[in-house]
Amino acid sequence: MTGLVSYQAQYLVPREHFTVGLAYILQPNELGYTGNGAIALTSDALWVCTPDQEHDIIPLQNIRKLDVKDFRGITFDRQFGGIKKYVNPRDAWGVVVEHERIGNFVYTFSFLTFFASASYDWQRKIQQAIGSNDAGIYGLEG
């Protein structure tokens, strides 16, 4: 890894990413963060990047399950022009990632792409990256 680069003038993402995109990050996650973020996929990890430039790096070989989920009915707050408003998006599709951490504990992390097609696209790209790394031998479901 040769470093991080700016993405959308707000996030630092790995320079060698295959794909990167904006998403709404849901808890639970390792950072304890909920809000806008960037998701980046590299040859060996899925990166969760927050506006305060923190990162949660999930090694691809630790991913156990990928699902696309309809989160319709979810409500969360967003900042619009400095004013906090609660939103309930009509399209609220996302990706649910189950992964292992130290001690074989399984954690779940979810991010909203808002549209089903984008969620299925992320699922496909992550599965392809896992397959190209021979991480598929670990029994990825999805």
pLDDT band at 139 (very low <50, low <70, confident <90, very high): very low
pLDDT digits (tens, 9 = 90+) for 79-115: 777 888 888 888 899 999 999 988 888 888 899 999 9
pLDDT digits (tens, 9 = 90+) for 10-63: 999 999 998 999 999 997 788 888 889 999 999 999 999 999 999 999 999 999
- In words, the CATH class of domain 4-138 is mainly beta
Q: What is the pLDDT of residue 136?
A: 45
Domain positions in the chain: 4-138
Q: What is the pLDDT of residue 60?
A: 95
Total residue count of the chain as it appears in this document:
142
Of residues 141, 122, 137, the one with CA closest to residue 61:
137
Q: How far is CA 72 from CA 13, 109, 116, 126, in A?
A: 29, 17, 11, 23
